[in-house]
């Protein structure tokens, strides 16, 4: 069975990302074509990148990096739940991504963005980053607007049609994660 992580991309107190990710996780639980897990980068207490060697070398020295590496390596694909901060993703999510390299390679990813402009620019920013890490990003994405999916710009109340968008995005993530299996197997046997 494929394993897909739903990654909460914000860490600040009072973040809306947690409610958004939990909603997506509940929707994903209705499916039987993959196993889903909520991954909260906050739980990994990652400092600003503090590894002496570039992650592409895979020579990690810190326990927090090894723990994060093991978690991310265990999945076939990811759904990034990203806020939009200054027209980009969050610094916390970018930092967590930067900690690793091989763990992301030949996986598939989909996005759920949220913000004033539905997180669209944050998702575009993440797509560029994923390209460098050889993560296949799917076309379908979920965009949650502060104007129509959050009551009074505050409480998360997604419009009814958003659930359908989550499923379309997950369909594509699962299809691509499956298609990339061969490459991941080659990568594993090459060490
Ligand atoms: C540092 C910062 C920068 C932001 N910049 C943008 C922005 O460029 N575009 C936007 O639509 N919303 C922006 N917002 C609003 C966020 O999208 C909104 O606060 C959202 O709830 C943040 O996600 P979080 O609550 O999970 O941290 C910004 C918020 C913060 C804290």
> What digits encode the pLDDT tens for the residues 61-80?
999 999 999 999 999 999 99
Whether 113 and 149 have beta carbons less than 8 Å apart is answered as no
Please tell me the residue having the least CA distance from ligand 1 atom 17.
115
Mutate to test the pocket of ligand 1, among 12, 83, 119, 152 (most ligand atoms within 8 A of CB): 83
Atom of ligand 1 lying closest to residue 83 CA: 23
Please tell me the residue having the least CA distance from ligand 1 atom 29.
85
> What digits encode the pLDDT tens for the residues 28-49?
999 999 999 999 999 999 999 9
Atom of ligand 1 lying closest to residue 115 CA: 17
Q: Which two tokens stand for residue 129?
A: 């980053």
pTM over 0.85: yes
Angle at 9 between CA 101 and CA 13, to 5 degrees: 135
Pocket of ligand 1 (CB under 6 A): 10, 12, 15-17, 83-87, 115-117
Average pLDDT over residues 44-65: 98
Residue 169's H or E segment, with its range, is helix 162-179
Say which DSSP state 157 is in. -
- The candidate with the shortest Cα–Cα distance to 83, out of 96, 74, 92, is 92
- The candidate with the shortest Cα–Cα distance to 24, out of 8, 3, 48, is 8
pLDDT band of 27, cuts 50, 70, 90: very high
The C-alpha atoms of residue 133 and residue 10 are separated, in whole angstroms, by: 21
Please tell me the residue having the least CA distance from ligand 1 atom 27.
15
């Amino acid at each position: 069975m494929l394993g897909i992580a739903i990654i909460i991309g914000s860490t600040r107190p009072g973040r809306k990302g947690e409610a958004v990710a939990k909603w997506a996780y509940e929707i994903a639980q209705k499916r039987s074509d993959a196993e889903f897990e909520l991954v909260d980068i906050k739980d990994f207490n990652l400092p600003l990148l503090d590894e002496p060697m570039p992650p592409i070398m895979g020579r990690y020295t810190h326990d927090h990096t090894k723990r994060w590496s093991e978690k991310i390596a265990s999945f076939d694909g990811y759904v990034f739940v990203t806020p939009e901060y200054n027209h980009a993703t969050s610094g916390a999510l970018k930092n967590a991504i930067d900690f690793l390299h091989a763990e992301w390679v030949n996986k598939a990813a989909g996005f759920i963005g949220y913000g004033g402009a539905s997180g669209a620019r944050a998702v575009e920013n993440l797509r560029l980053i994923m390209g460098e890490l050889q993560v296949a990003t799917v076309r379908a994405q979920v965009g949650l607007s502060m104007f129509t999916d959050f009551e009074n710009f505050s409480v998360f109340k997604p419009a009814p049609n958003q659930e359908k968008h989550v499923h379309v995005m997950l369909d594509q993530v699962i299809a691509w994660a499956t298609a990339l299996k061969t490459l991941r197997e080659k990568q594993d046997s090459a060490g």
